[in-house]
Every structure is written in structure tokens, then in C-alpha cells.
Amino acid sequence: MNVAQIFTSFKEALGSAYLEDRTIERKVGTVDPGTVYDLWITVEREALHDAVAHLCAEYNPHISVISGDDIGDAVALNYHFTVGWGERYGEATFTIRTVLPKSDLVIPTITDVLPGAQTSEREKIEFYGIDVVGIPDDRNLFLPEGATIHPWRRDLEEETAKEVKRMVKWETRDE
């Protein structure tokens, strides 16, 4: 796998919005060790859609999941893709990271280029209160319909605890 070439193609496609990259090489196997790669790039929020569109156009990616990480005054989103599936040792994980300030939790949808990302995007809307612009369906997926809490936000833990308490009280009420 030509890691440098992959990173260069992203740098050219994204320009100054491409912030940093790193490669983690891991040896696997006990008899005849092989190498697998975890690739990570960080991009500006404005370039996220372009980065995913470039990935889809060039590398036929699979999206595993989008993970979120509350890092204080911002929420970091890691879009975990895998590229190169179909042959032995052909695959590497490819994570695109972008950081959203809590004052402006807005990100464009990537479902127009990769429809399979919808489940994960809907989860991020409800659990972090992120506005995913352009998503075809923004209803709550895992949380109850109409719930407005965002359980994975560390700054909203009090509100979440209060709402969970209210729901438990309602569920265990005397008929």
C-alpha cells in the first residue's frame, strides 16, 4: 500500500484545509509477520465533505462508524473508513478527523456520496446535538422519539441525568 501517495492525493485535493496526517504501522502474525496500516488525517470542517467525496471517487471506501469525542469546548468527529477490502492484507483503516466548536456544531452530511453513513450521522445528531446539514432523515434513531437530551455531551450531563430520572419515574409509576 502506497501510503504517501494516498496522503499526497488528499493534500492536492484539499489544499490548506488539509491539516495533518499520521500513519500507524502494526506488525501482525506470529510465524511470518505482515504489516497492517491505520491512516489518520485531520481536515478543516469546511473540507470534510470534499475529503469524503475524494475518498469515494478514488478509493471505494466502506464506512465503519463515525465516533465522537467531547474534548471540552469542542466535539471531535472521527469518520472511520476502511479502504482496499477484497484481498489479503489489502485493507487499511482510514480515519478523517475534524473538530467542531460547541458554539457551532454544524457539519454537512456525507450521505449524498456514501448513503451507508446515515445511521451513524443520525446517532451523532441525537447524542451530541450536532446539526448535520442535508441529511435525508434527522429523526432520533436510538433515543426515544421526541427526546431532546444529548447523552454523550459532558457539559450537559446534569440535563441528561434529570431527563433519565424523569423517564425512569414515568416507566415505574403506579398504574
Positions in the binding site for another protein (CB under 8 A): 24, 26, 28-34, 36, 38, 40, 60, 62-65, 67-70, 78, 80, 82, 84-93, 95, 111-112, 114-120, 136-137, 140-145, 151-152
**Residue 151 corresponds to which cell in the numbers above?**
447523552
- 8 vs 35 by CB, closer to another protein: 35
* CB distance 46 to 17 below 8 Å: yes
C-alpha dihedral, 11 to 14 to 17 to 20, nearest 10°: -30
* Least CB distance to another protein at residue 15 (A): 26
Of the pair 12, 85, the CB lying nearest another protein is at: 85
CB of 108 to another protein, least distance (A): 14
Nearest to 74 by CA among 111, 94, 101: 101
Strands 131-133 and 92-101: unpaired
CB of 135 to another protein, least distance (A): 9
Q: Which is nearer to another protein, 47 or 63 (CB)?
A: 63
Handedness of CA 114, 120, 126, 130 (dihedral sign): negative
- Identity of the residue, 45 or 62, whose beta carbon is nearer to another protein in the bound complex: 62
Alpha-carbon separation of residue 152 from 44, 69, 79, 136, 143 (angstroms): 23, 8, 17, 23, 12
State the minimum distance, in angstroms, from the CB of residue 90 to another protein: 6
> Whose Cβ is closer to another protein: residue 12's or residue 69's?
69
Nearest-approach distance from CB 47 to another protein, in angstroms: 21
Which parts of 15-128 fold into alpha helices (H)?
A: 48-59, 118-128
